[in-house]
Amino acid sequence: MENFASTECLSPGDVKNRKQAGENIQVIDVRSPEEFGEKHVPGAVNLPLDGLGKATSRLDRSAVLVTACGKGGGRSATGAETLRKLGFRAVWLCGGTFGWFDEN
């Protein structure tokens, strides 16, 4: 997959379609454990933003990482940028977790 610009996000539909096509995508929820526990994208891994840089051993370097927060573009954009600086292919989820469920 292509490298992503710092402002790029993927819609929930794009993420679902790419996963169904067999692309290796890992959704990383950068919210707090409490927020994650309320509702999260199915299959997402919870790695809060404040510890994201220390948790890279839990991430698949061959995957495209899609960071998610509540509404998308705040913490998720920061998380994607952090991961790109650490050498990962990362983008954030447009519309966030709430957008994921609104689209269904």
Question: Which domains are delineated in the chain?
Answer: 9-102 (3.40.250.10)
pLDDT(43) > 80: yes
pTM: 0.91
Per-residue pLDDT reduced to its tens digit, 59-103: 999 999 999 999 988 999 999 999 999 999 999 999 999 999 987
pLDDT of residue 35: 95
Is-contact 79 49, C-beta < 8 A? yes
36 CB-near residues (< 8 Å, 6+ apart): 29, 44, 46
Distance CA 95, CA 74 (A): 10
Among left, alpha and beta (phi > 0; psi -120 to 50; other), residue 94 is beta
pLDDT of residue 6: 53
